[in-house]
Amino acid sequence: MKVTGTWTLGTEITAYDGQAKVYAHIPDHGAQTTKAEYRIKHAHGTTVKAISQDANQSNKWVDLGAYRFNGMTAEVSLDNFNGGDGTNEVVHD
**pLDDT by residue (tens digit) across 3-32?**
888 999 989 999 999 999 999 988 887 777
CB 48 within 8 A of CB 37: yes
pLDDT at 91: 61
Distances (CA, A) of 74 to 37, 49, 53: 17, 15, 22
pLDDT of residue 87 exceeding 70, the answer is no
Q: Is 24 exposed, middle or buried (0-12, 13-18, 19+ CB in 10 A)?
A: buried
Phi-psi region of 19 (alpha: psi -120 to 50; beta: other; left: phi over 0): beta
DSSP letter string over 55-77? TT-SSEEEEEEEEE-TTSEEEEE
pLDDT at 1: 77
pLDDT at 90: 63
CB 72 within 8 A of CB 32: no
Q: Where do the domains of the chain lie?
A: 4-79
